[in-house]
């Protein structure tokens, strides 16, 4: 499976598509089929909007939840020897297992060993979460100890957890899960970052040389660049400072993908300009204004690099059918 180019399609479910009176029954049916471990709370109208991926060696569930109780420890379709790691991206939740309870706040995470017995996570008020199930064997023994362990809280300020959260958010919204081969790398990075989050030695200062740490930092840097594409003065120094890393280390992160910071920035700015040019509402705008709003300060440089990238001039791109096959992808590859 790891070598396949097959696209991985997640299970999608949203109560927005289910009439309110039918939501409880819909969730109970999915739970009975072993598809979603969610139980509606009494006297509540459940609200759920989620995606669930099955990766090589990992299950990932992400979404928003309210009025439900998430269960675990007896999923026949999941790994037998597994660890559950749940991140509260926002909101609050309450985890319980054999009488042990842990309150989980914004940004916190909880690690639960299903070998210790069935567990539940109460999500009465709206909460956004990312839950990961991985074989316990993929988490190094030094991070969790031996034998069944009680629920364990990982505070929001833990550096390794912050890296894991940003990495997962980037992976789940980007193209990292577009094939089994890429998803296999994501699963490996996630397992390594969970290990670091649970390790008392490295949780606060994850080693910069570890591959999952580098992958997580690169994902965060790319997301930062995407958010600031229109800033014509976006520099390596500015991005590095925001992420508390050196400019040299940032350059090395891009070298891992055999590209440079400048190449990535140029590619994303050109893709942004391409999308704007093809929007009908931009038909009366000048090429120079579009170039400027895409982060280019030199019109001749923009025209030259745009033609080299797409094989047409900006004016030619504007004349293309905005409903064509490349309209949502940022241009031909």
Query: What residue numbers bound the domain in which 296 lies?
Result: 262-319
Whether 231 maps to a domain, the answer reads yes
Q: 32 and 124, same structural domain?
A: yes
Q: Is the pLDDT assigned to residue 327 strictly greater than 50?
A: no
Kindly report the pTM of this predicted structure: 0.81
Q: 245 and 198, same structural domain?
A: yes
**Structure confidence at residue 73 as a pLDDT band (50, 70, 90):** low
Q: 14 and 129, same structural domain?
A: yes
Whether 1 maps to a domain, the answer reads no
**Structure confidence at residue 79 as a pLDDT band (50, 70, 90):** very low
**Range in 112-116, 140-144, 208-212, 235-239 with the lowest mean pLDDT:** 140-144
pLDDT of residue 320: 73
Q: 36 and 84, same structural domain?
A: yes
Q: 120 and 81, same structural domain?
A: yes
Whether 47 maps to a domain, the answer reads yes
Give the helix ranges, DSSP H, for 33-116.
Answer: none
The structural domain count of the chain equals 3
- What is the 3-state composition of the chain as percent helix, strand, coil, each rounded to the nearest 5? 40, 20, 40
**Structure confidence at residue 35 as a pLDDT band (50, 70, 90):** confident
Mean pLDDT to the nearest integer, 112-137? 90
Among 17, 14, 125, 16, which residue's Cα sits nearest to residue 66? Answer: 125
pLDDT of residue 332: 47
Provide the CATH number for the domain around residue 291.
1.10.10
Provide the CATH number for the domain around residue 131.
2.60.120.10
Q: Is the pLDDT assigned to residue 165 strictly greater than 80?
A: yes
Up-side HSE of residue 55: CA atoms within 13 Å toward CB? 29
Whether 100 maps to a domain, the answer reads yes
Q: 76 and 168, same structural domain?
A: no
Q: 26 and 124, same structural domain?
A: yes
Whether 257 maps to a domain, the answer reads no
Whether 330 maps to a domain, the answer reads no
Q: What is the sign of the dihedral through the CA atoms of 22, 65, 99 and 114?
A: positive
Whether 292 maps to a domain, the answer reads yes
Percent of the chain with pLDDT over 70: 86
Q: 171 and 226, same structural domain?
A: yes
Q: 124 and 21, same structural domain?
A: yes
Whether 223 maps to a domain, the answer reads yes
Contact residues for 325 (Cβ-Cβ < 8 A; gap 6+): none
Q: 125 and 36, same structural domain?
A: yes
By residue count, the chain amounts to: 333
Taking all residues of the chain, what is their mean pLDDT, rounded to a whole number? Answer: 86
- Output the six-digit token pair for 70: 């998430």
Output 153 or 1, whichever has higher pLDDT: 153
Q: 38 and 122, same structural domain?
A: yes
Mean pLDDT to the nearest integer, 268-291? 93
pLDDT of residue 76: 47
Mean pLDDT to the nearest integer, 12-31? 92
| ∠ Cα 169 171 172 (to 5°) | 65
**Structure confidence at residue 232 as a pLDDT band (50, 70, 90):** confident
Q: 126 and 18, same structural domain?
A: yes
Taking each continuous run of H as one helix and of E as one strand, the counts in the chain are 11, 12
**Structure confidence at residue 2 as a pLDDT band (50, 70, 90):** very low
Which of 249, 272, 304 is the last residue in one of the domains? 249
* CB 299 within 8 Å of CB 288: yes
């Amino acid at each position: 499976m790891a070598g396949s180019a097959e696209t991985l399609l997640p299970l999608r479910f949203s109560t927005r598509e289910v009439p309110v009176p039918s939501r409880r029954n819909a969730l109970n049916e999915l739970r009975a089929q072993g598809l979603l471990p969610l139980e509606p709370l009494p006297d509540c109208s459940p609200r759920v909007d989620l995606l669930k991926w099955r990766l090589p060696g990992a299950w990932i569930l992400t979404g928003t939840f309210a009025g439900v109780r998430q269960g675990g420890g007896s999923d026949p379709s999941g790994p037998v020897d597994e660890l559950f790691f749940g991140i509260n991206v926002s909101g609050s939740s309450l985890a319980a297992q054999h009488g042990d309870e842990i309150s989980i706040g914004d940004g916190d995470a909880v690690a639960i060993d299903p070998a210790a017995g069935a567990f539940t996570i109460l999500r009465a008020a709206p909460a956004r979460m990312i839950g990961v199930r991985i074989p316990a064997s993929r988490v190094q023994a030094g991070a969790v100890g031996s034998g069944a362990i009680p629920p364990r809280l990982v505070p929001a300020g833990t550096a390794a957890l912050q890296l894991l959260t940003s990495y997962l958010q980037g992976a789940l919204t980007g193209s990292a899960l577009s094939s089994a081969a890429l998803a296999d790398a994501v699963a490996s990075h996630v397992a390594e970052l969970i290990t670091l989050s649970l390790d008392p030695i490295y949780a606060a200062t994850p080693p910069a040389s570890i591959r999952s740490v580098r992958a997580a930092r690169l994902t965060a840097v790319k997301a930062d660049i995407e958010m600031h594409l229109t800033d014509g003065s976006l520099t390596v120094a500015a991005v590095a400072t925001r992420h508390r890393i050196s400019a040299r280390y940032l350059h090395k992160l891009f070298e891992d993908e055999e590209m440079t910071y400048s190449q990535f920035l140029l590619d994303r700015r050109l893709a942004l300009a391409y999308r704007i040019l093809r929007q009908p509402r931009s038909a009366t705008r000048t090429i120079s204004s579009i170039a400027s709003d895409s982060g280019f300060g030199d019109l001749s440089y923009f025209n030259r690099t745009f033609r080299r990238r797409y094989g047409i001039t900006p004016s030619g791109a504007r004349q293309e059918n905005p409903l064509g096959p490349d309209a949502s992808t940022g241009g031909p590859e």
